[in-house]
Amino acid sequence: MATPINHPVTNPKEGVTYLTQDEITSFLDDLDHNDDGYIDYAEVEAKLDAAHDELAPAGKVKPHHVISRRQKQSSSPPSDHTPSEKQTQPSSSSSSSSSPSSSSKDENRLRHEFLRSIMALPGSEPGTSSNPTADADARTHRIPRAAFAARVRAWKIPSLQQDAESEKSQRTFIQHLRLSRRLRAYWAVHGPEIAFLALVASSLAAFGVWQCVKYAATTTQYRAAFGWGVVMAKTCAGMLYPTFFFLILSMSRYVSTMLRRSYRVSRFVNWDLSQAFHINMSCLALALATLHAIGHLTGSFYHGSRPANQDAVAAVLGPDAVPRPYVEYVRSLPGFTGLTALGLFYLLALLSMPAVRRWNYEVFQLAHLLMYPIIGLMMAHGTAALLQWPMFGYFLAVPTLLILVERVVRVGTGFHKIRATLTVLDGETVEVAATIPSERMWKYRAGQYVFLQVPAISAFQWHPFTVSICKGREFRLHIKTDGNWTKRLRHLGGKGEGAAAATEIDVGINGPFGAPAQRFYDFNHSIIVGSGIGVTPFSGILADLQARDDEEHGAPTHSHQHRNHQHRHDSETTVVTEKKEVNGRKDSESTMPTAATAATAAATEAPDGNDPTKPPNPSEAFTFAPDYRRVDFHWTVRDRNYLLWIADLLNSVSRSQDWHRRHEGPSQHLDIRIATHVTQKRRNIVTHVYRWLLEMHRTEEHPESPLTGLLNPTHFGRPDFDAILDRHYEDMRRFRASKRMKANASGGAAVADSIADARKRTDRTTRSENRDARADGRGSTRGASGERRDVEEEEEELKVGVFYCGAPVVGEILADKCRQLTVRGRHDGSKIEYHFMIEVFG
């Protein structure tokens, strides 16, 4: 089947194994249900309907244009289906109107264009819609099995066996490494988290042992007066000191935001797991507090109230404290404050259960206000100084002050309403756009998150959402409406969709907080690997990068982006800046992706990987922009439906990239290469083949994939990151060699002689500032100083940042591969370094 784009799987250098003869035979056997030795139109259409039922289950997601099931239309000729096949059609089709709408006609036309392309019939090209007579002729067309098998081989569809082999290879990759490499890869992913947990555990153990030794062995008078209970209670109290310190500190958004700015601290303390850490520490604190109370109530209070122990109690508490009955211990300041705090702690825990949170989020949030009286009671708990000086309050003071400041600020921002625009993008996504007032000092960046309050829904509920796009003080949030609160937010937007149906609402904004991938802007070359919802902050960074590039170097016009009927996010990343005609093409021409993606073109022209000294192709030298930045974006999901919620955002980036590629050529400033991967297995060969045919079927009218709705290519199966990083390394060697050729040609011998002196005068701070300037897209002034900087930079290491969010096993593979590529860069003289950084978004 001829496809309008060259999908990466059709490139032989991608290492793809295509359908085997056995798989082709199985596919033909399934198509040729009447076993007459021919494949006819009706059989191909019937299998498309069967594949549709599996790829787009009814009621889950709106199908795209090609995979819609056939519907009866008055203009269509009778079908050649058997009665059993007709019964498989949905009941809605039988009751459809005799004069179908124009949209139904259009869907039917597109559907038959796709089917004709499979059968190699006239009318498969876009815009060549045939008449009813031609449709009837098409339905009678059939192809011998042998001829159809040749067509299947020409489609170059990956084999199902390759998917199984890739999955097995990924599963056993780490197991086949030698122990040292395996441990190094494991530590790269889990090490900092293990070290932090070890710090927390050691602090708890240290304070617990200190109190245990003090009351059990060092000072025997305590045990003589109060028995075993005081040892148990004080040991638990010692462990409670650091437990509550970490518990309250984990609630501070400001602390996490400030400390995130240090990558080393962020690797050591995984702030993105603060919620899970907070829950675990709360459970531990409740258990220790319960044991502390048991130790006193059944141990020290009981022993201290016995008449035989009154002399020992007097020796500890003083002669005025005896005789002291059991009830006096309970009524005392430590007894009353301790029991009250414990009761409130249990109430807070019950109201924080997942069932309560799902039932009423406001109850869950209001219940957490109980923490303030609990903290106050705990501070007062030891002020009587009966057994030791009151130290608990000192552990609670600093984190409690931070939390109080944050909550006061949040309450204040709740009263300070901001006017925002709510736009319903589709049935599952809404957009909130707002401008932050100038009096707020914090700078917003894409990838951070804010707490959003909508008074029309609730004055008490604040929910965190990631900033998708940010330009100055204008930012946008893209919210998936899959919860109770978010569904109510969607209803505020009314029934219409798009900018024309936007609704003005009042919101409260508290933030920004966090800074995922803080080091992202430290690298001019980055690889992003994410899975599921965790990729959201990175998608925001991509959109922000593209928006800045569009603003600085031009972009498709707003109306131009509407040509492809993808209207929902177009205006957010473009500015109306027309450019002159380049290479004989105007801005009004098609935005359809070029014949080969940039990734495929780079891989095709890369130098031989076995010869690290081989220079780049002379025709490709000097083609990179001075401020060239490359970002490879790999997103892995289980099912193609999970791609839909940010499809418009990714398509907006893809359209801008295609525009820059056509107008700037190989000298584009920002090079974003998006690759999505669907890992769900398809064991049925027919569904597997149709899935790939739909993915590769692109037209100028519909350049997006009929299956995923994305402009970028989608791979089915687990990604082979070993091969992906190898190809990236070869691209970087090509880029490095090209830059060196340009620097040597422009700098000359005089510039080369000055490198040593220049490097001595340039400290690490200056180099960091230069990299930040390039990251911000400020560019550089050319001339003698620019040429000298070119040569100087090419003598330094070329650093690639690899950011990962997903399953630990893939992280270990990436960590090991990054280290191997860095070693390779040292050996072949390219000085390419791959820095692996794991990001976990809770």
| Beta-strand relationship, 670-678 and 714-716 | parallel
Cα–Cα distance for residue pair 746/755, rounded to 1 Å: 14
Tell me the pLDDT tens digit for each residue of 676-718: 998 877 778 888 888 888 888 877 777 888 888 888 888 888 8
Residue 335 is predicted with a pLDDT of 92
Does residue 615 have a pLDDT over 70? no
- Please state the rounded mean pLDDT for residues 814-832: 90
Cα–Cα distance for residue pair 66/818, rounded to 1 Å: 41
Mapping DSSP to helix (H, G, I), strand (E, B) and coil, where does residue 71 land? coil
Does residue 4 have a pLDDT over 90? no
pLDDT band at 187 (very low <50, low <70, confident <90, very high): confident
Considering only residues 174 and 739, tell me which one the structure prediction assigns the higher pLDDT: 739
- Please state the rounded mean pLDDT for residues 409-429: 83
pLDDT band at 484 (very low <50, low <70, confident <90, very high): confident
Q: Give me 493's structure tokens.
A: 């937007």
Cα–Cα distance for residue pair 87/81, rounded to 1 Å: 10
Residue 507 is predicted with a pLDDT of 93
Q: Which of 403, 517, 496, 508 is nearest to 463 (CA)?
A: 508
Range 416-513 classified under CATH 2.40.30.10: yes
Residue 121 is predicted with a pLDDT of 72
Cα–Cα distance for residue pair 241/392, rounded to 1 Å: 6
Cα four-point dihedral sign 711, 715, 719, 723: negative
Helices (H), 38-101: 41-55, 83-86, 91-94
Tell me the pLDDT tens digit for each residue of 90-127: 333 333 333 445 556 666 777 777 877 887 776 544 44
Tell me the pLDDT tens digit for each residue of 635-652: 988 887 777 767 878 888
Could you count the other beta carbons within 10 Å of the beta carbon of residue 460? 14
The residue behind tokens 């922000």 is 544
| Beta-strand relationship, 463-471 and 474-480 | antiparallel
Mean model confidence pLDDT for the chain:
75
Does residue 808 have a pLDDT over 70? yes
Q: Among 14-23, 446-455, 559-568, which stretch is predicted with the lowest mean pLDDT?
A: 559-568
Mapping DSSP to helix (H, G, I), strand (E, B) and coil, where does residue 265 land? helix
Tell me the pLDDT tens digit for each residue of 544-575: 788 888 888 877 754 444 333 333 333 333 33
Mapping DSSP to helix (H, G, I), strand (E, B) and coil, where does residue 827 land? helix
The residue behind tokens 């919210």 is 479
Q: Among 106-110, 236-240, 356-360, 824-828, which stretch is predicted with the lowest mean pLDDT?
A: 106-110
Cα four-point dihedral sign 811, 816, 822, 825: negative
Mapping DSSP to helix (H, G, I), strand (E, B) and coil, where does residue 822 land? helix
As a three-state string, the secondary structure of 347-388 is: HHHHHCCHHHHHHCHHHHHHHHHHHHHHHHHHHHHCCCCCCC
Tell me the pLDDT tens digit for each residue of 387-407: 888 889 899 999 999 999 988
Residue 88 is predicted with a pLDDT of 34
Does residue 276 have a pLDDT over 70? yes
Strands (E), 15-86: 38-40
Query: How large is the angle between the packed helices 333-351 and 274-295, nearest 10 degrees?
Result: 140
The alpha carbon torsion through 353, 354, 355, 356 (nearest 10 deg) reads 60
Residue 247 is predicted with a pLDDT of 92
| Beta-strand relationship, 429-435 and 418-424 | antiparallel
CB distance 302 to 230 below 8 Å? no
CB distance 612 to 829 below 8 Å? yes
213 class by beta-carbon count within 10 Å (0-12 exposed, 13-18 middle, 19+ buried):
middle
As beta bridge partners, residue 507 has 418
User: How many residues are listed for the chain in this entry?
Assistant: 842
**DSSP per position, 139-204:** HT-EEEHHHHHHHHHHT-PBPHHHHHHHHHHHHHHGGGS-HHHHHHHHHHHHHHHHHHHHHHHHHH
Mapping DSSP to helix (H, G, I), strand (E, B) and coil, where does residue 483 land? coil
Domain locations in the chain as residue ranges: 8-158, 185-412, 416-513, 522-575+590-605+617-681+717-838
What's the maximum distance between 2 C-alpha atoms anywhere in the chain? 112
Mapping DSSP to helix (H, G, I), strand (E, B) and coil, where does residue 715 land? strand
pLDDT band at 133 (very low <50, low <70, confident <90, very high): low
Q: Give me 670's structure tokens.
A: 């920002």
Cα–Cα distance for residue pair 272/289, rounded to 1 Å: 27
- Please state the rounded mean pLDDT for residues 328-332: 91
Residue 222 is predicted with a pLDDT of 85
- Please state the rounded mean pLDDT for residues 622-633: 84
Considering only residues 67 and 465, tell me which one the structure prediction assigns the higher pLDDT: 465
* Mean pLDDT comparison of 7-11, 126-130, 442-446, 608-612, highest-scoring range: 442-446
Cα–Cα distance for residue pair 474/471, rounded to 1 Å: 5
Cα–Cα distance for residue pair 164/173, rounded to 1 Å: 14
Residue 572 is predicted with a pLDDT of 33
Residue 137 is predicted with a pLDDT of 60
Residue 527 is predicted with a pLDDT of 94
Does residue 289 have a pLDDT over 90? yes
Considering only residues 307 and 442, tell me which one the structure prediction assigns the higher pLDDT: 307
Could you count the other beta carbons within 10 Å of the beta carbon of residue 608? 9
HSE of 498 in the Cβ direction (CA atoms, 13 Å)?
6
Residue 63 is predicted with a pLDDT of 47
Residue 505 is predicted with a pLDDT of 92
Q: Give me 28's structure tokens.
A: 């033909």
- Please state the rounded mean pLDDT for residues 6-13: 58
Does residue 348 have a pLDDT over 60? yes
500 class by beta-carbon count within 10 Å (0-12 exposed, 13-18 middle, 19+ buried):
exposed
For the domain covering 522-575+590-605+617-681+717-838, report its CATH number. Answer: 3.40.50.80
Cβ contacts of 727 within 8 Å, gap of 6 or more: 599, 603, 606
Could you count the other beta carbons within 10 Å of the beta carbon of residue 552? 16
Cα–Cα distance for residue pair 813/181, rounded to 1 Å: 10
Residue 586 is predicted with a pLDDT of 36
Does residue 339 have a pLDDT over 90? yes
Cα four-point dihedral sign 516, 522, 528, 529: negative
Mapping DSSP to helix (H, G, I), strand (E, B) and coil, where does residue 205 land? helix
Tell me the residue type at 557: T
The residue behind tokens 């030795």 is 37
- Please state the rounded mean pLDDT for residues 625-633: 90
